Structure formats: structure tokens, C-alpha cells
Structure 1
């Protein structure tokens, strides 16, 4: 990871960051790497060496986070694979600056334990809850494709994770498409039946994005952020039990829930986007465009940061 944005250093020498800057970072409850980084205070210490500070902002999900980034209220944030596509289609000034490995087991389509729904095809005509423009949105699209159903053949209920869980518990929806840690928490307390995970359907990758003006002007600060994430990656990989405790204290869910969440993620290593990752993002974007679920088609590589 320390080499991820190495080319940015040359740019930083030109752009400079002699002025004191507050780096505004957006995260959500699924942003495990950022939550642990925030809890350990590593980034604060490193930024302070240059006279800089950091401010953290929590969001319900990726779409809300990227709305804030587009509005100029954030500098950097992490989301799933789908929110950047919706944001790019809407003209948001953002760029991809890194990604984490696939974690298809970390998202799922859930139904109540006593639901008669046993197959994806049986979602036809059913009310399915999801966060619009989130990674869950693409998982549902792929699941319907696999089942031979059209998007118009279900009743999407666009709800935040908290709203969807409440609706799920009171029986107001037939199925719920959700990601960790909400998925793991529901497994433990609500005891749903998993209709399918993302395995074979959606890679469910997480992406780090930055406001384009910030990426252009504050290259050195981006390097500091990613260097801190590199060290944090090692902590998550080598000390998962301690990491689960840190996450539990920060988020408010119990330790076993986060042990399950960490178990489902093969790695937290953040790396520069590869051509293969860009191609996969483009496939997602093209499918949403075909379904007319985004305002206009996009070319993903146009917003992959090239210093």
C-alpha cells in the first residue's frame, strides 16, 4: 500500500501542502479499515506532524457519503462498487484512488426464516428492500438476471439499512438485500434465511474515492492517508480478535458479530485499481445503463485517478 500512491509524491512537490489542511473523511459502518484507523488514532498523529488535522463523518450508506463528497463537504471516503457509478452518472467530481479485494460472502439476500420463498425466481412480484445506488442494488440486479426475472417484476423498496431492518422484522417486506456488518448482525439476532450471498453474482468490492479538486491539490495528504491505511491493514490481518473488539466498541455491535464480519473478508489490503477492476466496474455501469437505472452511461476509466 505504501507504494500505491508513490507517484503522487512527485506531484506533491509541485502542488505543495505547506498550508494547514483539515482532511475530511467519510465512512460508514461497513468501512472497517477506516473505523479501525480512526479508533487507533494513527492518522491524526501523522497528519499532526505536518500541522494538519482530520475530521471524520459517518454516513448511513455509500450513496449518502458520495452526495456529501460531491457537495464539497468531504475530501475522501469509502463505498461499495455501485455508489461511484451512480455518482459519476450524475456528474459528481470524484475520482477512484484505491480499492479493497472482493468479498462476495459479505453481502446477501435475506428472507424471514419461515418465508415460502426458496428460489430467486420466487422473488417475482415480491417487495424487496435495498439501499438505492448501493452495492446491494447491483447484487439484486445480478440475482434477478440469474433467475431470469426483469427488474420490473419485483417491487423494490428503497430503504436505508436501519429502515430495512425494521421493515424486515415487522414483516413489511418479503426480502432484504444487505451487506456486513448489518448482514452479520441480522444473522445473529433476527435469524433470517439466506436466499443467496454475492458468491458468483457480485464481487462486492470496496473503493476509496476522493473529490477531484482534493486529489489534484493535496497529493501529499492522500499519500499520508494511504500510508496510514497500509499499517492499519497489517493490524487487521494479524490481530483480527483485537480488531473485532475495536470495531465493537466503535460501532456498538457485539464482538462475535465483527468476528464473523472479519472472517468473511479475505483481505483488507488497499491497492491501486487494476485494469481488471476497472473492467468489472464498467460491466456494472453498463448493466445499470441498460436497465436505465442511472441517468446516462459512464466510462469508468475517465475518473480513475492518474497523477
Structure 2
């Protein structure tokens, strides 16, 4: 899977020096996440959800990340190709809480009891484990290997990882891009301490990049692809995406409605299969619901990314119960963040994901996805 309300402050794009690892700790990671989560009421339980029938919730609150006009939530909300998640769940009314810039702030919403179901990057899951967020891992899939890009101005002297030393690099901290940046720097023997790190959400990062206030910007599709086209920027070579992504539910909701959350996972997979199977049809659909405004460029870039399966949702067509690969990858991410000081303490993500208390829901999800 961004800096949001859990960050006490954000480095200015005009500040003369980037943060040290100690400064990064102050800005984000579990150290910043835990107090905000605690403020939501650690261990608080949401009121029981009303039922339409045994095992059928009256409402499911599906978190919307981004503008909600493209991707899985948009496809499900507007019943792309006839996929009706509410009907699949037995007549459940689906609400779409929005305003989330990425999946990490959704973890705060889980803690507050205001969402039931969501997409979550591996970084968000790791933060959630460290912060004691009451989520249940349902299913996972690998993100596209080249979904993340690092952009530099077309005339920049930066040609590869080694050239980033001492440069001002924008990144939305705690996201998929952060891990990719760490691994990319590592390929040249560099660490986050070796760059001037500027923590910005995508819209602010694009503005800073366009105005020359940062030397490079790391982000993910489609925002990074659109910016590349808008600003005639170029991508650095060999930048990779390492994360798995997950679908998760609140602990209380999954306990009450295990079959419902399993069906919601299947609906996600099924609608993404339809999107991937008909890129032109899906892009026309998103265009009709206002996904691209009046910008022809946005539609063209999104169509290309859909065809190439380079969007965060693209591989959701392979959603499966959380397996050893997803677990090991997410633990490696957490270990790397801890070694670099981004996480103040080691987090046993693998232990959480393998916890036997999730065995029953794992079986329920696997059975539903086998349909």
C-alpha cells in the first residue's frame, strides 16, 4: 500500500535538510501509529451489526481508498458487469466510507469501529499488527512487480539508485513506495539516511515534483503514470514492487459474519476478473461514472495500465487465502523497516498471520474462493 492524520507533522518541501532515521521515527511508523490508535480506544468493540437473517449482516461498510471512481470499490458499488456484492451477501446494504488516501488510515478506522472490510497493503498490515488493530486477514495477492516507479525530470542527471544520494525524494511514508524506495537504495549500498526524505501524499508530491522542489518522486499507479505523462518525466530503471496486498475485515464483523466476509472477498476477485477480461469495457464504465473527469489523458493512461495489469487491483483476480509466500514477504518487509529504524521494535507479522484463531475463517474463505 501515506501520511495522514496519524503524523504529528510533515516535512516541508522547502526545508533545507531531510530527516534522519530518528526523525523518520518521530514522523511515522508504529511510534506514531500507536498513540493515534490508542486515542480511538484500544480494544474497543463495535456494537453488534444488525442481521437480515442468520449470518447475513444488514450492512457492510467497505472502505474506499482514493476517489472511489475507478478500481474495485467503484466496480462493485456501481455493479460492473452485473456483479452485485450486496446481493451476493444475501441482500446486505453496502456502505462506502471514503476519504482515505491509502490503506494505513483505514487501520485507524478499523480501530475506531467505523469500517468492516477493506483492501490493505502489507505495510498497513504490519503497522496494524504493531498497533494492535483488531483486523482479520482474509486473503492476499502479490502487487504487480512494476507498479511502483521513481520519476525524475527528463533532463535530470539522476540515472540510477546511486545518483539519489543527497537528493530530495518525495514519498508517501508507510506505503508500498516506501518499501520499494528502501530496496532500491539498498541496491546501491544506500539507506534512507543518505537521502533527503520528504514525506508527502501523492497530490502534494506531484505539485512539489512539478515545481522542482524535489529531485525525484516515488509513487504507484495510476497517479505516477499520469504524472509521468503530464510532466514528460522519465522513470528510473529497475525499480520493483515487493509487497503483497490483503483484504481484511474487522475482528468483530468477521466473527459475527464469517461467510459474509468470505463472499465479499469472492466478489472482489470476480469483479476484478471481469475488469481484466474487458479493459476497454471497464474503462468506458469508469468514464461514465466520472472516473476520469474530462481529461482524455487520464482515460488513455488508465486503459494502458489496465491492459498491462499494472494497477494495485490488477492481481486481485488471483486472490487466495493467505499463504506462506504472502506471510514471508510481509515479515521481510517488517524486518527491513525495523532494521532501518522505521519501526522502533520488531513486529511478529508472521505469527499474527499464522495465528490458529484465524484457521476457521481461512477455511471459509478458501472454500468460497474455490467456487
User: 2:229 aligns to what SS in structure 1?
Assistant: helix
User: 1:108 aligns to what SS in structure 2?
Assistant: strand
- Deviation for aligned residue 1:214: 1.8
1:124-147 Cα distance to aligned partner (Å, 9 max, x none): 111111111110110111011111
Structure 2 regions of 5+ residues with no counterpart? 1-52, 361-371
1:255 and 2:304 equivalent? no
Asked if structure 2 preserves the Cα contact closer than 8 Å seen for 1:99 and 1:207, the reply is yes
Q: Which residue of 1 aligns with 2:25?
A: none
Map 1:35-74 → 2, pairs under 5 A: 35-40=74-79, 42-46=83-87, 49-50=90-91, 52-58=92-98, 59-74=100-115
Map 1:151-190 → 2, pairs under 5 A: 151-190=192-231
Residue from 248, 253, 258 that aligns with 1:219: 258
1:296 and 2:345 equivalent? yes
Task: Give distance in 2, aligned partners of 1:238 and 1:49.
Answer: 26
In structure 2, relative to structure 1, the CA distance for the partners of 1:20 and 1:84 (3 Å cut) is: closer
Q: Which residue of 1 aligns with 2:144?
A: 103
Tell me whether 26-35 or 190-199 shows the greater mean CA deviation. 26-35
Task: Give distance in 2, aligned partners of 1:43 and 1:296.
Answer: 42
Task: Give distance in 2, aligned partners of 1:39 and 1:100.
Answer: 24
TM-score of the aligned structures, taking structure 1 as reference length: 0.86
Structure possessing the higher relative contact order (Cα contacts under 8 Å, 6 or more residues apart): 1
Q: Which residue of 1 aligns with 2:271?
A: 232
Q: Which residue of 2 aligns with 1:12?
A: none
1:54-85 Cα distance to aligned partner (Å, 9 max, x none): 11123111222222222211111113221211
Task: Give distance in 2, aligned partners of 1:129 and 1:219.
Answer: 40
1:267 and 2:307 equivalent? no
- Deviation for aligned residue 1:48: 7.2
User: 2:104 aligns to what SS in structure 1?
Assistant: helix
- Deviation for aligned residue 1:47: 5.6
Q: Which residue of 2 aligns with 1:88?
A: 129
Asked if structure 2 preserves the Cα contact closer than 8 Å seen for 1:106 and 1:197, the reply is no
- Deviation for aligned residue 1:18: 5.0
1:75 and 2:116 equivalent? yes
User: 2:259 aligns to what SS in structure 1?
Assistant: helix
Residue from 12, 23, 27 that aligns with 2:60: 23
User: 1:100 aligns to what SS in structure 2?
Assistant: strand
Aligned length: 289
- Deviation for aligned residue 1:160: 0.8
In structure 2, relative to structure 1, the CA distance for the partners of 1:84 and 1:185 (3 Å cut) is: same
Asked if structure 2 preserves the Cα contact closer than 8 Å seen for 1:39 and 1:246, the reply is no
1:280-306 Cα distance to aligned partner (Å, 9 max, x none): 111111111111212321122333343
Task: Give distance in 1, aligned partners of 2:236 and 2:152.
Answer: 7
User: 1:231 aligns to what SS in structure 2?
Assistant: helix
Q: Which residue of 2 aligns with 1:244?
A: 283
TM-score of the aligned structures, taking structure 2 as reference length: 0.72
Task: Give distance in 1, aligned partners of 2:322 and 2:226.
Answer: 30
Asked if structure 2 preserves the Cα contact closer than 8 Å seen for 1:105 and 1:264, the reply is no
In structure 2, relative to structure 1, the CA distance for the partners of 1:22 and 1:275 (3 Å cut) is: same
Asked if structure 2 preserves the Cα contact closer than 8 Å seen for 1:47 and 1:53, the reply is no
